[in-house]
Amino acid sequence: MIRLNKMTDYSVVLMTELALSGKVVASADLARKTTIPQPTVAKLLKVLAQGGLTVAHRGRAGGYGLGRSAEDISVAQIVEAVEGPLAVAACVDGTHDNCEYEQTCPMNGRWEMVNTVIRRALNEVSLAEMAIRPFATPDAFAGGASMPAAR
Cα torsion angle, 61, 52, 92, 126, sign:
positive
Fold of the domain built from segment(s) 6-129: Arc Repressor Mutant, subunit A (1.10.10)
Contact criterion met (CB below 8 Å) for 147 and 136:
yes
pTM of the full structure: 0.77
Distance between CA 135 and CA 151 in Å, rounded? Answer: 13
Q: What's the pLDDT tens digit per position in 109-150?
A: 777 888 888 889 999 999 999 998 655 555 555 554 444 444
